[in-house]
Amino acid sequence: MRKKVIFITGASGEVGHALIRHLAEDGGNELLTMDLRPLPEDIHPFVLEHVVGNLLDHILLARIVTQYEIDAIYHLAALLSTSSEFTPDIAHQVNVEGTLGLLRLAAEQSQWRNRPIQFIFPSSIAVYGMPQIAQSKGLYQRVREWEWNQPRTMYGCNKLYCEMLGNYFGHHYRQLAVERPVMLDFRAVRFPGLISAFTVPTGGTSDYAPEMLHAAAQGKPYACFVRESTRIPFMAMPDAAHALLQLAHAPQESLTKSVYNVRAFSLTAGEIRERVLAAFPQARITFEVDEKRQAIVDSWPADLDDSSAQQDWGWQARYEVNRSFEEYLIPNISRRYAG
């Protein structure tokens, strides 16, 4: 008998780290995880099996399907925005071909099992591309899901296309076949920049916020690569895991979209610096703008409109800005580096 599992790709990354704990707390979930890297020690006990391997390895995926009955997929594996600009071809392979292979797998499993397999996909503010910062970013503060879908990064293009692929597999796959197959159940959230107290991101362009905090807590100087006035939305990591689970639990009939904005708070880099200095008065934070990375962040909206998520599945960030810093980030980061 194949064991029923929830399959998580990119499990060793930041979101995986938080999500695995939340899924374990949810109870009754057997977790199968996959990543190029081993799973961090502290989350190993929550997982049935961790596969070290490449998402693009079809033989490995076939082996997984023969061994396990996959109930749901949380597809977290991706190359983030800055990394993707250095290796756009690889980014396309991982972010698009990797996702396409998994969508195919989920579509086949939905047919075999005669019930929709849930496919949960974290997308990003990188799908937005606001031209001419002064006019558009200033004028359109809270962007709706269908506005400004003109990404300027490979990562943003990949995410936007994969949202569309997910929607296609969820609604129109094999639309000319005589008998329509059972469709998979694709659901996505567009995350703002994420900040974790327990992990530091690599390869993203919203990384200046967590980098600033983690450097200050370690007494290291930090040169922020965007201007002080740069504003984008952010979210504390527990809310990111919570959003994925809340969307997964929402009744299908209440959903009017397959892709939802979620947000918690919007801060400028200067405001983040002030909050970091209030907690770590000795912190040495300067601004040394990298114009290329600045241009990427400038193309992202100042904030997101998440009213559809609120209406359809009751989304509400639990960690607004003060709670994020005072109850989650500062105490946990301080403890972490206090040894």
What residue ranges bind ligand AKB (CB under 6 A)?
A: 80-81, 124-126, 155, 193, 204-206
Nearer to ligand AKB, 81 or 258 (CB): 81
> How big is the chain, counted in residues?
339
Pairing of strands 285-287, 222-224: parallel
Alpha-carbon gap, residue 103 to 37, rounded angstroms:
22
Environment class of 291 (CB within 10 Å of its CB; exposed 0-12, middle 13-18, buried 19+): exposed
Alpha-carbon gap, residue 256 to 312, rounded angstroms:
7
Nearer to ligand AKB, 96 or 277 (CB): 96
Least Cα distance to 154 among 90, 198, 75, 234 occurs for 90
Nearer to ligand AKB, 110 or 199 (CB): 199
> What backbone torsions phi and psi does residue 288 show, to the nearest 5 degrees?
-125, 95
| E strand segments, 84-221 | 118-124, 142-143, 185-191, 193-195
Give the shortest CB-300-to-ligand AKB separation in angstroms.
7
Give the shortest CB-78-to-ligand AKB separation in angstroms.
8
Nearer to ligand AKB, 50 or 75 (CB): 75
Give the shortest CB-273-to-ligand AKB separation in angstroms.
18
Give the shortest CB-285-to-ligand AKB separation in angstroms.
19
**C-alpha to C-alpha distances, 254 to 118, 144, 257, 331, nearest whole angstrom:** 15, 19, 9, 37
Nearer to ligand AKB, 125 or 304 (CB): 125
Nearer to ligand AKB, 7 or 300 (CB): 300
Helices and strands counted in the chain (H then E): 14, 14
Give the shortest CB-206-to-ligand AKB separation in angstroms.
4
Give the shortest CB-192-to-ligand AKB separation in angstroms.
7
Q: How far separated are the first and last CA of the chain, in Å rounded?
A: 46
Which pair of structure tokens corresponds to residue 74? 């949380």
Alpha-carbon gap, residue 330 to 146, rounded angstroms:
35
Give the shortest CB-144-to-ligand AKB separation in angstroms.
18
Nearer to ligand AKB, 68 or 121 (CB): 121
